[in-house]
Structure 1
Amino acid sequence: MANIDPTPMREFAISVVRQLRAAGYQALWAGGCVRDQLLGQRPKDYDVATSALPDEVRKLFGHKRTLAIGAAFGVITVLGPREAGQLDVATFRTDATYSDGRHPDAITFSTPEHDAQRRDFTINGLFFDPIEERVIDYVGGEADLAARVVRAIRDPAERIEEDKLRMLRAVRFAARLGFSIEAQTLAAIEQRADQLQVVSAERIAAEMEKILVHNSRAQGLALLRQARLLPEVLPELAEVTDFTLLARELSLLEQPSFAMAIAALLRHTAAARSPLTAAALADQIAARWRLSNHVAEGISLALRQLPQLQIATELPWPQLQRMLVQPRIGELLGLLAAVERGAGERSPQTDYCRAKLALPAEQLNPPPLLTGSDLKRAGLSPGPMFREILEQVRDQQLLGQLHTLGDAIEYAEKLAAPG
């Protein structure tokens, strides 16, 4: 959606409503796009709710322009022009019970009012008529937007029993919007926090990523603690005593990746103080949330290398250089800067590393003088020593002690000599 022009996207959403209305169906914008618009924010996407049944939506817009992936829940995706993207058209419905704590066991197509009543929070239960430009509010969502509260529709306990992930969603919406969670809704979450474990690891991870990479991540962390959800998602933080410092560092991260945000939290645990246990800690989180290898490796890298970067000015240049030339150094320095600023420092280690990164390429990362092929051509037999020899030759090159291939081979031969 990032490459979609909001004006064509909005015009397409209006045209879908017009086409449904012209065919004799009710049609309204629904959910988050209405909320964002009323808050003066540009909607990221649009959803349309309608009285048309899924098959009727497909017939109206054509099978080539529609996808029926969500048809079992009354949702048809309508494809717009390239510059407008796509949107979901959902038939007004009422949900049956949620036996699995995630999906309704059955749905019944119904009316706009019943459709609004089955949604999660009042601020997400609003409709908007883009033709007449008026809000349709069956659940008190406008008042809650004005009061800046996240409130469950009808009985909070029922809404959470239907889908336990709504507990994390309440935190995310409240943090991102700068809202509070309404008292009864918060109480219902606190009482059922331990039931979050029935939600799939992937859904929890996806929600946590949305909380932790957003600018409101510190508020999200505070709300997770307040709602008693933090021990359920990150029990590793139970031993942390200085949450003020942790939250400050988290807030000082600038556009962090998911991996760096998690590392910022985990670095305060005792396990992260040892390179060996830090790697195990990263593996533990990655396994529990079923994180991608890229994210898992980023967490492990940050926990292992952050302590070294915190003493960058004291490190031998070859050791620091290897960290500075790795692909994720930008992320790591962002984390380092947050840690230094969180402690009230002027980021001396970050500044030092960034000054080194500004060196000309031939100084920062000159091509290696020696390769394994060069060692073979010099008559050295391949073996376990090759890697150690190459690393030591590279160290001397970076320190300015070796300048030519001949120098490098001569030094390697001395290293390989018996005794």
Structure 2
Amino acid sequence: MERVTLPAADWRDREDLVALYRVLGVETGNTRVVGGAVRDTLLGGAVSDIDLATRHAPEDVLSLLQRARIKAVPTGLAHGTITAVLADGPVEVTTLRRDLSTDGRHAVVAFTDDWREDAARRDFTINALYADPVSGEIFDYFGGIDDLAAGRVRFIGDPLQRIAEDHLRILRFFRFHARFGDVPDAAGLAACTARANDLMALSRERIAAELLKLLVAPGAVATLKLMIAHGILLPVLPEITSAGVARLSDVADYETAAAILADPLRRLAAVLPRDPALGEAVANRLKLSNAQRKRIISALGAPGGTPPALAYRLGRDGALDRWLLTKNGDEAITGAQEIAAFEIPAFPLTGGALVQRGVGKGPDVARMLRQVEEAWIAEGFPDANRTAELADAAVDQWRQSSSIA
């Protein structure tokens, strides 16, 4: 087999990473870069996370880092993972492992010095690529390089067995397909379809994490269509239907045309029926944070207001959500661009300014402040002088109504 080496990349020259290599003694061949950093560098993409696999025992890794005065966090000591906290970002160092037992959610592991054994427990061939940190030589035990070139996400070994080991691999299969895939691997797709009900055994937090990543992948729309056609989400998210994927397709097109970054929460709202109560139920089921839940509910609200008014009332993200989910065609695109460029102003009037005009402290001040603010929004956020005129008019109206009463 022809020797393949890792292309040059900025991350490979990180001083703190090179120093870590020296501490781990990479010249002996006992530590390699593994997974996403290798895969994404081969594709010419950006690398955000760097993982190392090593023959060193976890306790030895901890000791080596501590002696070198590198902050070491035993993030997953039982599973062999130590995080080295470096100047340019953390790096996970994990001892080679093999599975002793699995239950679909958790694994009991034993440590090994066999690279192929470690590769065999990983999910997909494209994620089981290792590279020598110095020479860049790539070690590929299961055909991951060919699969990467073919746009094929393929399980290592028997797909049904790999899914039985960790049910989340069903969603990971589709998430990686949405990012890297062309034609879905037939055996992997059949296994995911047959075991879709296994998703019900997973925590909703794990489901949410995978789904949100999938939704912003380049092939999200086509992949969700595939998942719906095969009933993958039916056991855990039956609310996501073909109609929702059609809305997602439109929203994705509008984001691209308006040069708006793809947003996972906006896209999750897009695939749900336009029903804030149902959106809240889904957000609760997925154990989203309060802020995320509120955003989903807001995104599914009724249309209303100009782009600047929505931006002022809902914030930039909330306004983009509501606008892109309720508008179509050129209106959706130009409105999104207007929201993105709009500098959200501060309302230049306080309750104290109304009290100075003679309004008694109490509910009248709050009511009048809202009245003036609405007029200020309707006039397109005029300056302080015009706002003062609006306040004067509101106070005059209040005095007249008070005298009549």
Tell me whether the two structures share a fold, i.e. TM-score over 0.5.
yes
Q: Distance in 1 between matches of 2:320 and 2:247?
A: 18
Distance 1:165 1:9, change over 3 A: farther
| Cα displacement string for residues 308-329 of structure 1 (whole angstroms, at most 9, x for unaligned residues) | 25xx4xxxxxxx8653313523
Does structure 2 retain, via aligned residues, the 8 Å contact 1:257–1:331? Answer: no
| TM-score of the pair, normalised by structure 1 | 0.79
Corresponding residue for 1:78? Answer: 84
The residue type equivalent to 2:77 in the other structure is A
Aligned length: 384
1:392 to 334, 359, 371: 371
The residue type equivalent to 1:346 in the other structure is D
Percent of matched pairs sharing the same residue: 31
Q: Distance in 2 between matches of 1:297 and 1:201?
A: 18
1:191-210 → structure 2 map (5 Å cutoff): 191-210=194-213
SS in structure 1 at match of 2:313? coil
Corresponding residue for 2:382? Answer: none
| Cα displacement string for residues 286-311 of structure 1 (whole angstroms, at most 9, x for unaligned residues) | 21111112211111112114x225xx
Shift of 1:120: 0.5
| TM-score of the pair, normalised by structure 2 | 0.82
Q: Distance in 1 between matches of 2:245 and 2:374?
A: 41
Distance 1:352 1:417, change over 3 A: farther
Corresponding residue for 1:275? Answer: none
For the pair 1:140 / 2:180, whether they are aligned, the reply is no
Shift of 1:57: 1.1
Q: Distance in 1 between matches of 2:252 and 2:10?
A: 31
Q: Which runs of 5+ in 1 are unaligned?
A: 273-277, 313-319
1:248-397 → structure 2 map (5 Å cutoff): 248-253=250-255, 254-266=260-272, 269=273, 272=274, 278-305=275-302, 307-309=303-305, 312=306, 322-326=309-313, 328-333=315-320, 336-337=323-324, 340=327, 343=328, 345-347=329-331, 351=334, 367-368=348-349, 371=351, 374-375=354-355, 378=358, 380=360, 382-383=362-363, 387-396=366-375
SS in structure 2 at match of 1:346? helix
Distance 1:359 1:104, change over 3 A: closer
Does structure 1 retain, via aligned residues, the 8 Å contact 2:105–2:202? Answer: yes
Q: Distance in 1 between matches of 2:25 and 2:336?
A: 61
Does structure 2 retain, via aligned residues, the 8 Å contact 1:48–1:89? Answer: yes
1:50-199 → structure 2 map (5 Å cutoff): 50-62=54-66, 64-65=69-70, 66-80=72-86, 82=87, 84-99=88-103, 101-199=104-202
Does structure 2 retain, via aligned residues, the 8 Å contact 1:389–1:415? Answer: no
| Cα displacement string for residues 209-266 of structure 1 (whole angstroms, at most 9, x for unaligned residues) | 111233433234234324532324431134x547445423334333133321122222
For the pair 1:228 / 2:214, whether they are aligned, the reply is no
SS in structure 1 at match of 2:239? helix
Shift of 1:74: 0.8
Shift of 1:164: 1.0
Q: Distance in 1 between matches of 2:13 and 2:192?
A: 36
Q: Distance in 2 between matches of 1:31 and 1:59?
A: 25
| Cα displacement string for residues 83-111 of structure 1 (whole angstroms, at most 9, x for unaligned residues) | x3221111111012212x22213434341
Distance 1:170 1:358, change over 3 A: closer
| Cα displacement string for residues 23-67 of structure 1 (whole angstroms, at most 9, x for unaligned residues) | 856121111112122223343222111111011112222264222
